[in-house]
A and B are shown apart, each in its own frame.
Chain A
Amino acid sequence: MKTENSPLVGIDLGTTHSLIGAMDAGFPVLIADADGERLTPSVVHFPASGEPIVGRTAERMRALDPRHTVYSIKRFIGRRAGEEADDVSYALAGARGTPVRVRVRDREYSPEEISALVLKKIKADAERALGCKVTRAVITVPAYFHDAQRHATKTAGELAGFSVERIVNEPTAAALAYGLDKLRDRSKIAVFDLGGGTFDISILELNQGVFQVLATNGNTRLGGDDIDTALIADCQLPISDWEKRDLVVAAKHRLSEEDAVEIPQPFASSGASLVYRLTRAELERLARPIVARTRAHCLRALQDAQLTPADLDEMILVGGQTRMPLVREFVREIFQREPNVSQNPDEAVALGATIQAGILSGAVHNVVLLDVTPLSLGIETFGGLMNVIIPRNSTIPIKAGEMFTNAVAGQRAMSLKVLQGERELAKDNWPLGHFELEFEPAPKSQARVGVQFEIDANGILHVLARDTRSGREKVVAMTSALDVSDEAVEKMLEDSLEHAFEDVNDRIFVEAKMKADELLPAVRKALVQVGAQLTGDEHATIAARVSDVERALAAGAAQPLRAATAALDEATQRLATLLVERALQASAGG
């Protein structure tokens, strides 16, 4: 093979930053660019003429030329238009339900192409540093990426001129970086990975060089970017959102160390001199609901691993957002221990990717990753249910067989739909694609085709069909769900999208009315149960808020109704507390 002698590199292709590394004398080493920086912003700027610019220079263009500067492309890789909020400064194209495309200066790019530009830049950095051609790579993805997102990441690597030898999960890579110098140990660890755009939690067992993932969970739409967006929405300065972004990010970073910051804004387009002020308390108030969303995933991973926090030996933090004290506070509380911050949160994943490259090239011995598939794989059955064939958290590579027979004599073919996800109804899961199964002509139930589903070490699915009578095997070509825009996909998008409603006001009213219809009887019931413990003032306030809601309901006004129900919620907080206390007392006494 032409690339045998080229070094195998490890790449962390991140939402906000990307890194590249190579093994050097048995140790993973990250490669710096010409400016001596190891972190390359995953940002591509398209100037009016000339080649696209990638990295730090491109990042500086985000505020200056937002329409022609593409960032956070990882959010869109392997996704369909309409699935993801289009709150970016650059233009998105592509019809709903078809793969997302980016439109810049009258040209359309796929997310794979944009990612490839980032990869080419760090590839060139590596070639300059190593003094040779670099053509083979290990690339990391969030553990919770599904099949299409893994495929697309692989394609991006190939477009950049790499042979992608392995797709490896980010938290697993981080575990390798943590465990490389502890190969004699037996321990159980959790990796909490909160990056710019994605969140993963993985639980592993380390046993003398074997790194077995026990469970993984996550959210590919949860990260530090969400905190930035909340800060931007909260920032009252008269400047553009793209200008605000630089400010809020700088403030957020500094508030990991300081209690309050004041940042002057010299380049404000308004011309006036402005100062951005933010306190840590305010930042935490805005970030708390976002960070809190990690909790359910952590508990799910523990449950799936059949472990309690006490069973863990270490809790490793990676991802830039874990520098935030609030995040550490959450981790401490969920896992009931002090998190291990020995890893550089920005570099651990890239180091792990490099170690995996070392394992594959033979530079690292006696270390093996046994990873899992994050999502259940199944097929759609009659009645639209999901029939799980390979459950989530199964160790990969794995094979599973299913036998299919003809339902009527002479039936020649049957269509199968392959899904990934955890929901009972097929339509709620991610459709990977569908394929046709061919039968030999035979009496009813006599034609038999065995189908083998194989998930490889990259977490990517392969399907093989074998006719049991003829013994003929063939690889089944699956039509990727990404390439088609069928009604089911459209329907799924409709259901999942908030802006599916034509009239936002109608929707607000319907939602607020549902809330009010539930709240009013609940208040009456609660007053009967624990009303005696309220003060006269509290009674008066609640009565006033109740009549506000009733008036807004009668008027049919959306916004006032929403405000009134929210106020009633607020006013009845103590009522809710009393109810819970009463229930606790009753259970303690009984």
Chain B
Amino acid sequence: MERRNSTLNFPPVSDHFATLHQPRLPWLEPAALKESFHRLGAAAHPDSPGGDAAAFAAINAAWLVLRDPAARLRHLLELQAPALLARSAEIPSALAAMFMQLAALRREHEGFRLRAISATGPLATALLAGEKIALERRTASALAQLDTARDAAIAELQALDETWAATPESLAALYQQLSFLGKWSAQFREALFELKSREIEN
């Protein structure tokens, strides 16, 4: 069996910017975007007079893409410079270094998780307390580091708003950076959450 993932909209031909009445720009103000989703979504919702599920689903799909900076950039490139998406850009060395460091932290989480699963009693759990606190602390600081990197990338994105059409390559690089950072942040937020909820279950 071979399977190819397509995006959430089906069939995959639509301009999400147009659907949500947004300009085709790399940076969209989150509050204004949400307002637009709420207003257009409410009008198109099957519960509203004249609304229907298909119209709402299209707005919903557009919202899912546009609210996430990485997915939004990807969509923008899809529309404007699809050739750039097919090319695999070189990963900047700062990002690669960060990845190595995060991958090591991730392996530690895995290791700790296995030990924590086999420790069921309060005493066995208590024996792991020191390790847990240290891991929590390091994960929190990794997340802070990721946030800083993401803020910097977003600032770059905002600066590009005027000039991006002339240099779509810079957009492709930012897309790549933001999609890595977003994925890693989500992973570590989840890992930190699991770590913290573990003590609750015991």
Binding site for B on A (CB under 8 A): 166, 207-210, 212, 295-296, 299-300, 303, 356, 359-360, 362, 368-370, 382, 394-405, 407, 414, 445, 450, 452, 454, 456-457, 515, 518-519, 522-523, 525-526, 529, 569, 572-573, 575-577, 579-580, 582-584, 586-587
On whether A399 and B57 interact (CB within 8 A), knowing A523-B123, A569-B121, the answer reads yes
A580 to chain B, nearest CB (A): 5
Q: A256 to B133, alpha carbons, bound, how many Å? A: 38
On whether A583 and B130 interact (CB within 8 A), knowing A518-B118, A526-B123, the answer reads yes
Q: Which residue of A lies closest to B118 (CB)?
A: A518
Of B19-27, B40-48, B104-112, B140-148, the one contacting chain A is B40-48
Further pairs besides A299-B197, A398-B57: 17, Cβ < 8 Å: A212-B38, A303-B189, A359-B47, A360-B47, A362-B49, A368-B42, A395-B41, A397-B46, A399-B9, A399-B10, A399-B54, A401-B9, A401-B12, A403-B4, A407-B1, A454-B57, A457-B47
Q: A575 to B124, alpha carbons, bound, how many Å? A: 11
CB-CB < 8 A to B54: which residues of A? 399
On whether A522 and B124 interact (CB within 8 A), knowing A399-B9, A401-B11, A402-B6, the answer reads yes
User: Given A452, A519, A586, which contacts B130 in the complex, CB threshold below 8 Å?
Assistant: A586
B98-129 CB mask vs A (1 if < 8 Å, else 0) is 00000000000000000000111111111101
A454 touches B53 (CB 8 A): yes
A518 touches B9 (CB 8 A): no
Q: A396 to B134, alpha carbons, bound, how many Å? A: 40
CB-CB < 8 A to A580: which residues of B? 126, 129
Give 5 CB contacts A-B under 8 Å: A399-B10, A445-B2, A454-B53, A518-B118, A579-B123
Q: A405 to B3, alpha carbons, bound, how many Å? A: 7
On whether A368 and B45 interact (CB within 8 A), knowing A407-B1, A580-B126, A582-B130, the answer reads yes
State whether the Cβ of B32 lies closer than 8 Å to any Cβ in chain A.
Answer: no
A-B contact count (CB 8 A): 152
B130 touches A296 (CB 8 A): no
Q: A403 to B1, alpha carbons, bound, how many Å? A: 11
Q: A277 to B138, alpha carbons, bound, how many Å? A: 52
Q: Which residue of B lies closest to A416 (CB)?
A: B1
On whether A400 and B193 interact (CB within 8 A), knowing A210-B38, A454-B57, the answer reads no
- Which chain B residues (7-21) contact chain A, with CB distance < 8 Å? 7-12
State whether the Cβ of B61 lies closer than 8 Å to any Cβ in chain A.
Answer: yes
CB-CB < 8 A to B190: which residues of A? 303
B2 touches A370 (CB 8 A): no
Which 6 A-B residue pairings sit nearest by Cβ, starting from the closest? A401-B10, A583-B130, A583-B129, A579-B126, A576-B126, A368-B42
Q: Which residue of B lies closest to A368 (CB)?
A: B42
Q: Which residue of B lies closest to A450 (CB)?
A: B10
CB-CB < 8 A to B129: which residues of A? 579-580, 582-584
